[in-house]
Amino acid sequence: MTGGEHTRATHPPAAPVPEQVPLGLPVYRTAAWAFETAQEYADLLNGDRAGYSYSRNDNPTCVAFAEAVAAMEGANVPTPVTAQPFASGMAAIAAVFMTFTRAGGHVVAPREIYGGTYGLLTSVLDRFGVTATFADSTDPAGLRAAIRPETTLLWGETLANPTMTVADLPGLAAVAREAGIPFAVDSTFASPAVCRPLEHGVDVVVHSATKYIGGHSDVTGGVAVGSPELMDRVRHVRIDLGGVLSPDDAFLLHRGLATLPLRMDRHCRTALAVATALAEHPKVVRVDHPGLPGHRDHDLVVKLFDEGRYGAVVTVTPEGDRAAGLALCDALQLVRRATSLGGTHSKVSHVASTTHRQLGDAALAAAGIGPAAVRISVGLEDAEDLVADLVQALDQL
C-alpha cells in the first residue's frame, strides 16, 4: 500500500482467509462489507446475489448462531427449517407479531402469557388496532371458539411462565390449520433440548436465547425458527425494526448451544427433585411443575417432551398473600433474588411484583397465578443444597 501514513493506517493488508475450518466460531465484528464492483453491491441488495453488506441486515456470526438453533429445532422435521437472530427474546417476539398481525387484526393467546408479551399486546399493539383474546391453552376447543374472522395469529407458550402449564401443541396446531392462520410458540422455558414444537405442527418457534441457550447469564439474545418462507418475512421485519443481535453476543450464544443438552438434563432432573420435596412442605399451598405425577399436564408433558426433561422452573405458592411470597424470597441464602432464568445459578422471583407486574389482580387470577407465587429457576447446584435452602426459608414463614 502506497500513500501517506494516514492512508496506510486506514488501509492495512487484508486479513488472511484460512483454508482450514476453525473449531471456534469466528466473530465478524464489522458493520459493513466492501464490494469489488458497484453492480455487485446493487445485486446483493436486490437479492440477486448471496453475501453480506451491512450487519443490520445479516452478519455471518449471527447467521451461524441462528442456523445452529434451526438445526436443533428442525432435526426431525422433514421440510427445510431456518432461523432469524435478534437482540433479545422480546425483539424476536415483537418481530413475529409485527409479521403476522395488521391494523384491525386479532390475536389469540394463552391466559398464562409472559408479562412482556402481555404488555406488547395490551400497551403497544393495541394502539395500532390489534386486539387480543386470552384463553386456556390446554383447551383447543376453547381456543377454537376464540378465533374470529379477523384473527391473524395463534400464540402459545410451550411451558407457560410461571404456571408451567404445558400447551397441547398438536391440538392447537390443528386448530390453527383449520382456521388458516399461523401458530407461533414461545419455547423459551423448554429449549430445543427439551421439546421441539415444529415436530408437533407449530409454524414458528421463538426463544429468548438469553435463558437456557446462552445458559450463563452473561448475554442477551433471541431467535425465531420456522420455514424459509416464513422466516424471510420475519427477516424483513427484523431489518426494518432494527432489533439486531451483535456478533459478540451471537458468539456467546452459539457457544452455549454446545452444552445445552448436558445442562438441560441436569437442570430438569434437579428441578423435579426440588418440586417433589417442596410439595411435601406443610406451608406450601401449591407447586407447579409438570414432572410431578399430580400435575394436570403430566401425561401431556411425558408425550411431548424428551424423557426426564420436563422443564427446569418450579413455581411454589406458600400460604399467605404477596407479603408471604416476598418473605420467602428474602429468607433464601443460597438461591439468588435475580431477574431472568436459565443460568448456572438458581434464582427466584416473586411473580406478581416482577415478571408479571403488568398483570392486574384479575388478570393474575385468570392466569392461575397466586399473589404469593414464587418462581424458582433451578440452576446447576446440588439438589440437596437447594432443597435445604428452600425448606429453611419456608420454615421461617
| All cell numbers assigned to 22 | 476453525
The strands making up 336-337's β-sheet, listed across from edge to edge, are 284-288, 313-318, 374-377, 347-350, 336-337
Q: Residue 321 catalytic?
A: no
Number of H helices, E strands in the chain: 14, 12
The strands making up 222-226's β-sheet, listed across from edge to edge, are 82-86, 222-226, 204-208, 183-186, 151-157, 106-110, 131-135
257 neighbors 72 (Cβ within 8 angstroms): yes
- The secondary structure of residue 243, as a DSSP letter, is -
Cα gap 272→292, rounded to integer Å: 7
* Omega of the bond leading into 162 within 30 degrees of 0 (cis): yes
Question: Which one from 111, 118, 168, 186 is the annotated catalytic residue?
Answer: 186
Cα gap 246→52, rounded to integer Å: 15
Q: Residue 52 catalytic?
A: no
Q: Residue 233 catalytic?
A: no
Cα gap 235→47, rounded to integer Å: 13
Position 98, amino acid: M
60 neighbors 246 (Cβ within 8 angstroms): no
313 neighbors 376 (Cβ within 8 angstroms): yes
Q: How far apart are the first and last CA of the chain?
A: 74
317 neighbors 330 (Cβ within 8 angstroms): no
Question: Which one from 28, 58, 111, 114 is the annotated catalytic residue?
Answer: 114
Instruction: State the burial class of residue 240 (Cβ atoms within 10 Å of its Cβ: 0-12, 13-18, 19+).
Output: exposed
Question: Which one from 49, 52, 54, 56 is the annotated catalytic residue?
Answer: 56
Neighbours of 282 (CB within 10 A): 7
- Look at residues 46, 14, 42 and name the one whose alpha carbon lies nearest to residue 30: 14
- What DSSP string describes 355-384? TTTTS-HHHHHHTT--TT-EEEE--SS-HH
Cα gap 220→340, rounded to integer Å: 10
* Catalytic residue list: 56, 114, 186, 211
